Amino acid sequence: MRERISDLFNLRRGELAPVCIAALFFFCILTALMMLRPARDALGMERGIDSVRWLFIGTAVVTLAVNPVFGWLVARLRRLQFISATYAFFALSLVGFWSLLVFAPGAVGARSGQVFYVWFSVFNLFVTMVFWALLADRFSSDQGKRLFALIAVGGTLGAIFGPWLASRLAEPLGTPALLLVAAGCLGIAIALAWWLVWTRPDRDASAAATPAPAAEEALRIGGSPWAGLRAVFASPYLLGIAGYVLAMTVVATFIYFTRLQMVALAESDLDARTGLLGNIDMWTQIAVLLLQLTLTGQIIRRFGLGVALAALPVATALGFVGLAVYGSFAMLIALEAMSKAVQRGLTRPAREALFTVVSREDKYKAKAFIDTFVYRAGDVVGAQTEGLLGRLGLALGGLVTVVVPLALFWAMLGLWLGRAQQRRAQQAGAMSAAPGADRGA
């Protein structure tokens, strides 16, 4: 049975155990996130959609402020220590929100909902960023292309399980208890991170010189807390990844606000909006799972990372054109489901594989800057652009005139990144005795 599973999913000797651990790790993270996300979105809409645009700016500012703190942890602590510290901080924050809801419910109001919105948005990015950074550090470039899509299935299952678990526990235990359940998931994630790192090394045969876990964990990454920001602007490759993420989040924000507006028109009650948003998320995750189990690995192996990265902008542009033509709520759900399915099921594993060929310091510091601040900066740009077009009365037609040319640039950038990653992987294979030599490329 073990051999049949390995053949089915293109696993090689020694890879099944770490893949299963990593998938379970991602399952716990996405379970925690998706339990709370519908409530986050519903709370954010309490003061109207315009207030959400300002919350995006607040989130970007907080994210920028948190980056040097995370960079300081990466420089001063060993790998598992700063990973554990990050997850423990967010778990304790959830316990703090639970205490506020249970022991001081009178202090909870619209302002508290906005604080939770910003906090959750930062939490969402950092816990997933740390997970993928560890995977880029733990697996080689070849393994990333073969295995990241399979590992991502664990996250998709968690994203389906989280809303289901919330619906089952909310009534008997109460909504505040969901925060404790999410905190417990993060505690399990910490244990799985340690298990993944201490599982015996099984990187490619070409990486036979990879140090044992004990030796690797004894090393600190060091450097400056701001090294990630400097590395992004010094490396065309990292700058290209940042540009790709920026374009992706701008367009995703267009979809997000279009959804909020249509949901606000469809449902005025808070509980009804939460339920509707949760149902959209659940069915989207099912579409993601089907894509991950059937096509993702085949597309990356056969056509390369570039095609996998270019698929999202092409699919999103076509979806926006369809939405502008038909303008129905059903078309919006189809656009969001297609966009998220391609993004999470195909593009996300390919995008994370891009980081397997950069230095260890860049995998944590530069990746943190790109996946958090650049991501949230794209949210701000997208939110303000969408708001400006709405005030000008351009609505969906105006969005299409922005999305289509942006998607063309976005797709070309994805193709270039795929080729650049392949070149760097080949160079690393030829110079396997010199890890980190790719830093200045």
Burial class of residue 341 in the structure, from the number of CB atoms within 10 Å of its CB (0-12 exposed, 13-18 middle, 19+ buried): buried
All residues at 6 or more sequence positions from 192 whose CB lies less than 8 Å from its CB, including other chains: 21, 24, 25, 28
How far, rounded to the nearest angstrom, does the alpha carbon of residue 319 sit from its chain's CA centroid?
21
Cα pseudo-dihedral 15, 285, 278, 187, rounded to 10: 0
The residue behind tokens 């399979």 is 150
Tokens of 346: 């195909």
Residue 223 Ramachandran class (φ > 0 left, ψ -120 to 50 alpha, else beta): left
For residues 25 and 132, what is the distance between their CA atoms, to the nearest angstrom?
11
The residue behind tokens 């949901």 is 263
All residues at 6 or more sequence positions from 190 whose CB lies less than 8 Å from its CB, including other chains: 83, 84, 87, 88
Count CB-CB contacts under 10 A for residue 96. 13
Residue type, 414: G
The residue behind tokens 């393994």 is 143
Helices (H) and strands (E) in the chain, counts: 18, 0
The 3-state secondary structure of 255-290, one letter per residue = HHHHHHHHHHHHCCCHHHHHHHHHHHHHHHHHHHHH
The residue behind tokens 């700058």 is 239
Q: Which residues, in sequence order, are bridge partners of residue 227?
A: none
The residue behind tokens 């053949």 is 7
pTM (predicted TM-score): 0.83
Per-residue pLDDT 10s for the chain (441 aa) are 666 666 666 777 778 889 999 999 999 999 999 888 766 665 555 555 566 677 778 888 899 899 999 999 999 999 999 999 999 999 999 998 888 878 876 666 566 667 888 888 889 899 999 999 999 999 988 888 888 988 988 998 998 888 888 878 877 877 788 889 999 999 999 999 999 998 865 555 444 445 556 666 667 888 888 898 999 999 999 999 999 999 999 988 888 777 767 666 655 555 555 556 566 666 776 777 777 776 666 777 778 889 999 999 998 888 888 877 776 666 777 777 778 778 887 888 899 999 999 999 999 999 999 999 999 899 888 888 877 776 666 666 667 788 889 999 999 999 999 999 999 988 877 765 444 444 443
CATH assignment, 13-203+225-430: 1.20.1250.20
Which of 74, 108, 328, 371 is CA-nearest to residue 224? Answer: 74
